[in-house]
Chain A
Amino acid sequence: MTDTKRPTRAKGTVKQSTESAELLREFYEQMVLIREFELRAGEMYARAKIGGYCHLNLGEEATVVGLTAALRPTDYLYTTYRDHGYALARGMDPGAVMAELFGKETGVVGGRGGSMHMFDLAKRMMGGYGIVGGQIPPATGAAFAIQYRSKAGKDSEAVMCMLGDGTTNIGAFHESLNLAGLWNLPIVYVIMNNRLGMGTSVEHASAEPDLYKRGSAYRIEGVRVNGDDPIEVRDAALAALETARVKRRPSIVEAMSYRLKGHSVVDPARYRSKEDVELAQENDPVPAFRAKMLKQKVLDEKAVDAIHAKVDAIVDKAVEFADSSPDPSVSELFERIYATPVPNMPHSYPGDPVVVLS
């Protein structure tokens, strides 16, 4: 039998937090920001302000916050298409992220990418990727570039590459792990195990459902953590990143999590049992973390209210900014595609003549 349920909190791993109250409040605020931003994104999708696919981080806030807290500004982050929360936690402007969802010129990539393709080179947010597993070889290549250019050490840069549970079955994952193991690359592969592909469970997809063990064929160590606990996630990520920096060894962190809603905003998730949905709601990391902080007296009701009010204002402003921003200009359709201009680049709109001779 394999254990694909979330790990129990036994074995003395739960203790009174030794983190500063300020940090814990910051974690809570970030989790609430992601939660409220995503709920609003869902609303905006229903109001047709957002098109295409829209995958939300609802239920994964603790993991997102814990992971990004472990990253330094000099580290590189590659994510999946479920990327809004990472963009926010990496410090990208919520207005620009919302504007990207709205397809506006002021979006993080000028409305060219949308929900699945948040990117910010300065913040080393190296992209949300739409093709499942497609981000893994390039993330491994970023680690290759670090290795190519610099020596191991505590100050080394490192790469974190997100992937979902379903992605551990794709060839690109295994090829990348082999290369990272072979070449001693400074990368942490984080498997967000929300136990469902779109609707296919881990047990139906993976011959080794203990996903943190899937690096064993490549001598890559893995750990499984409770993805609902941002501190536990952060600590595991810090340790893995340290291994990447100092030992230049790749590793795997598997974060056990629950997706609160469907695969995307249009998925009613009828394939989930009532019990499963209830379990996900019971383990919802945002109220759980709030309750813990209240119990530990890191927060009181007033402080909680203040955080929620602050976040509501940020999200309101983000929506307002996105809604009032201009659309990209169609006259710029052919721009930003090539970096080096060469003769005879195509510039024909549909219906234009293909050749105009002088």
Chain B
Amino acid sequence: MTEMTYRQALNETLRAELKRDDNVYLIGEEIGVFEGSYKITAGLLKEFGPRRVVDTPIAEEGFTGVAIGSAMLGLRPVIEIMTINFSLIAIDQIVNHAAKMRAMFGGEVSVPIVIRTPGGGGQQLAATHSQNLEVWYAHIPGLKVVAPSNPADAKALLTAAIRDDDPVLFLENLGLYNLKGDVPEGEHVGEIGRAAVVRQGTDLTVISYSRGVVTSLEVAEQFASRGVSIEVVDLRSLRPLDRETFCASVRKTSRAVIFEDDLLSYGIGAEIAATLGEGVFDWLDAPVRRVAAAEVPLPYAKPLELAAMPDADALTKVINETLAASAFKPGSTGGVTNG
């Protein structure tokens, strides 16, 4: 194990995959000479040259489509879209093309691309640069969407995504890049499509992904000091969605709160809550609650931005309300089974 930041984990994974396979190349705006808007690709142009690290003009639709076409011929491009907000300019190529080609062409061709892109607000970047649009892509059959929450998973899932023969949207978060964690050395390939129980607990399950997992773990730690045992499920993969893992967790704890960075209505949490309604109805001791972003274009002013974003306080409040709704007493065994 080596301790490193999420940013370093991504950088080292890209380096390792560029070394491993000549078909892997990086493409995006300002990734070479400028070394990436968030410095994820620092040093790679110098090491691998302009054939493997391709700086593009500002043309998201064009270069995303170029990457898709090159993947049809067997190359394995890793696209950087500077932020997920700009992916909207490329969405026709991602949704109408990359996601559809294999099915629409009868399984005769595959499109092994990775789109790396950070989402998330909280940096005072205002409405157009602070969105969490991952659910748009998680909605689309033909795509895979992963959202690692820590440096080790970043390495494991980026490696898996690059070696996967399908188009994968790899969600990063501006607030995670400096997060430190232990990362296994050498080959470390994750499995797309599996959630993880990242903290064991018995009284309530918090389900989250990406940056939300960090907050969830902090809040769980706070509750532990009060004698409340919180389990945290990290979805890691938004498509496919590992329904079984979070349903099994809630069958154990009987209470669920979903903590998500995206907007409340029609969000990731809505899908999870609906799944829980069907999969664990008889086990629930309280209504499933969601903590998500306020439904406004995110404002610039710091107090307004903070008010709109889901945070530890909001999660703590909703956990308390959920416990209260089921007359929870610390120390009692969770999970009254009615089923």
Contact = CB atoms under 8 A, between A and B. Distances in A.
A3 B165 CA distance: 48
Interface string B221-252: 00000000000000001001111100110010
Most buried by B among A112, A141, A148: A141
Given A145-B70, A148-B51, A354-B279, A138 B107 contact: no
Contacts of B194: 343-344
Given A137-B93, A175-B62, A354-B275, A336 B102 contact: yes
A339 B69 contact: no
A344 B107 contact: no
A145 B66 CA distance: 9
A313 to B, nearest CB: 27
Given A109-B105, A126-B72, A137-B65, A337 B142 contact: yes
B17 interface: no
A140 B65 contact: yes
B126 interface: no
Interface string B106-117: 111110100000
A113 B103 CA distance: 8
Given A145-B69, A357-B247, A345 B64 contact: no
Interface of A is mostly: loop
Looking at B67, B108, B109, which has the most chain A CB atoms within 10 Å of its CB?
B108
B54 to A, nearest CB: 8
A144 B56 CA distance: 13
B63 interface: yes
Contact of A140 (B69, B97, B193, B237): B69
A interface, size bucket: 35 or more
Contacts of B166: 338-340
B247 A355 contact: yes
A136 interface: yes
Given A113-B105, A172-B92, A343-B191, A141 B243 contact: no
B74 interface: yes
B177 interface: no
B105 A137 contact: no
A171 B109 CA distance: 26
A280 B38 CA distance: 57
B65 A109 contact: no
A347 to B, nearest CB: 10
A237 B104 CA distance: 29
A289 interface: no
A7 B189 CA distance: 60
Given A127-B101, A340-B165, A345-B193, A355 B275 contact: yes
Interface string A115-156: 001011100001101110010111111111110100000000
A172 B244 contact: no
B125 interface: no
B182 interface: no
A165 to B, nearest CB: 20
B303 interface: no
Nearest to A187: B69
Q: Which 3 pairs, one residue from A and one from B, show the smallest C-beta to C-beta distance?
A: A137-B65, A141-B69, A109-B106
Given A137-B68, A144-B75, A172-B62, 19 more contacts: A108-B106, A110-B106, A112-B105, A127-B109, A130-B96, A131-B97, A138-B72, A141-B65, A141-B66, A141-B69, A144-B66, A145-B75, A148-B70, A338-B142, A340-B165, A342-B237, A344-B244, A346-B240, A355-B247
6 contacts: A134-B93, A148-B51, A178-B57, A337-B103, A339-B110, A357-B251
